[in-house]
Amino acid sequence: MTKPSLPSLLALSLCAALAACTGTVSTGGDRAATGASTPASGSPDAATTAPNGMRVTEVATGLVHPWAVALLPDGGFLVTERGGTLRRVGADGAVSAPLSGVPTVWAQGQGGLLDVVLAPDFAQSQRIYLSYSEAGEDGTAGTAVATATLGATGLTDVRRIYQQQPKLEGPNHFGSRIAFDGAGHVFISQGERNDRPSSQKLDMLQGKLVRLNLDGSVPQDNPFVGRADARPEIWSYGHRNMQGMAVDPASGKVWQSEHGPRGGDELNIPQPGKNYGWPVVTHGINYSGLKIPEAVGKEAPGMEPPHHVWEVSPGLSGMAFYRGRDGAAWNDSLFLGALAQRAVIRLSLDGDRITGEERLLEDRGERIRDVRVGADGNVYVVTDEKDGKLLKIEPPKAG
């Protein structure tokens, strides 16, 4: 058998890396753009059981590039579609018509409707948080976050609480995930909008992890409050494109994942005021195969190393912790979606230390965009495809 040439291997690697970041959306003819509803069947497909005892069930199908899933207390779900649509999915798999009242999104390239999470007081307030890309002047765009009250068929009392400033041109690197620390703060992850130097500029919000009060105001103990040369919203900086974030329920620490360029996807536990290096330090190179122009290497004084790094990029996206389930096979795990390598990554944890890695769902060949863990002990994921799916993963029995 003839071995593939080096140029062929480089081309395949480049295609996989680009696919992880881009995953383009057609907004001309799919239902995310038109608002037409084609509900999935109310009867989920029969579960399939893996050799290790893990069971996978298709809860819903026919979702158009779903980006995030939030688990509702009644057993249903909220799912964002990147083209700008928010839908309910029933516990029986029935997909609703588009909910009304969703903010207008800038659905180009990687932009659109992104994360959805339930407010910490959702049981009382019915409030949700949404992140999305919004248009600016002269073809610019930036990441934004809004809160809203969820009703049966739509949103009311929609209020934007955050805008990335300044807005920049280009269709890529918006992030974005939302997480709560349990102490009255909301964290918002973003990208640097493919403008590498902005990650190091403290007067710009691109490439920054932001920490706000739940109403969008700035906490007075944020690390750059009071500095004339820095934005007070910033928690940490030097990030590239953060598409995964979760709070560890065991420690209360915020963890985030971000795409490297070609190689160098990172997992970080960001500390206040710290610089995580992009684009000065990185384990990756340009998609062209050339060095990142600003990079000096994999480390530099005053810049934090990643908590964990993948030299070959999985294309990290949504993430969720699996904690507090003593005796469960997957207890003390961190799950991450992989877009380029089309899998769910399970990291075994001992405190903050990563002790092992396992790949799930590789045989399906689907881009995993988001991962959430339910109160029922199951793992839920959405696949970023034109015919996207909501999947339920039941863990194997503990041995």
Specify the pLDDT at position 1: 40
Specify the pLDDT at position 398: 83
Specify the pLDDT at position 77: 98
Tens-digit pLDDT string for the chain (399 aa) = 443 443 443 444 444 444 444 444 332 332 333 333 344 444 456 678 777 789 999 999 999 999 999 999 999 999 999 999 999 999 999 999 999 999 999 999 999 999 999 999 999 999 999 999 999 999 999 999 999 999 999 999 999 999 999 999 999 999 999 999 999 999 999 999 999 999 999 999 999 999 999 999 999 999 999 999 999 999 999 999 999 999 999 999 999 999 999 999 999 999 999 999 999 999 999 999 999 999 999 999 999 999 999 999 999 999 999 999 999 999 999 999 999 999 999 999 999 999 999 999 999 999 999 999 999 999 999 999 999 999 999 999 987
Residues that are catalytic:
173
Q: What is the CA radius of gyration of the chain?
A: 20
At 193, list the tokens: 């909008």
Specify the pLDDT at position 46: 63
DSSP 117-162: EE-TTHHHH-EEEEEEEEE-GGG-EEEEEEEEEE-SSBEEEEEEEE
Specify the pLDDT at position 70: 98
Of the candidates 308, 310, 322, 306, the residue with the CA atom closest to the CA atom of residue 249:
322
What H or E segment, with its residue span, contains residue 370? Answer: strand 368-373
Backbone angles phi, psi at 375, to 5 degrees: -65, -20
Q: Using CB atoms within 10 A of its CB, is residue 337 exposed (0-12), middle (13-18) or buried (19+)? A: buried
Helix, strand and coil percent figures for the chain, each rounded to 5:
10, 40, 55
d(CA 205, CA 210): 8
Specify the pLDDT at position 71: 98
Specify the pLDDT at position 52: 79
Of the candidates 256, 143, 132, 252, the residue with the CA atom closest to the CA atom of residue 191:
143
Q: Which residue has the tokens 């190091």?
A: 200
d(CA 253, CA 352): 9
Of the candidates 380, 384, 364, 396, the residue with the CA atom closest to the CA atom of residue 91:
380
What is the CATH number assigned to the segment(s) 6-394? Answer: 2.120.10.30
